[in-house]
Amino acid sequence: MKGTNLGEFEELVLLTIASLVNDAYSVAICDEIEQHTGRAAKLGVVHAVLNRLEEKGLIKSKLGEATKTRGGKRKRFYTLTVPGKTSLVRAKDMRDQLWDKIPAFVLKSASI
């Protein structure tokens, strides 16, 4: 099933949500990604991914308190669910395993 594997951007979004802890809402996620990767994260793309992740059950959301900013509209805060966390960990494990298998000299030239 496609849903169990994470896409690259999906993983990025999940990581960002995890790193923002309690302050992960769409605009903040966009900004964070932009800051860390240096590439522009469009709201439209992030919004679609968030929606998909929520459908997959990897994240959950709830609306925050109304404030005077944002034209009085509430923010939707995202947090990781248990399956979300597992899939992140699994993705990291998979990478780590692969990293471990790479002999040191293969990447030597890249580090110079």
Question: Which positions lie near another protein, rule CB under 8 A?
Answer: 25-27, 43-44, 47-48, 51, 63, 68-71, 73-76
Closest CB 86 distance from another protein, rounded Å: 25
Q: DSSP E strands: which ranges in 20-65?
A: 59-63
Closest CB 93 distance from another protein, rounded Å: 31
Which C-beta is closer to another protein: that of 69 or that of 111?
69
Question: Which of helix, strand or coil describes residue 48?
Answer: helix
Closest CB 37 distance from another protein, rounded Å: 19
* CA separation for the pair 88, 96 (Å, rounded): 12
Provide the β-strand partners of residue 61. 78
Which C-beta is closer to another protein: that of 73 or that of 90?
73
Which C-beta is closer to another protein: that of 19 or that of 51?
51
Tokens 């992030």 map to which residue? Answer: 46
Provide the β-strand partners of residue 78. 61
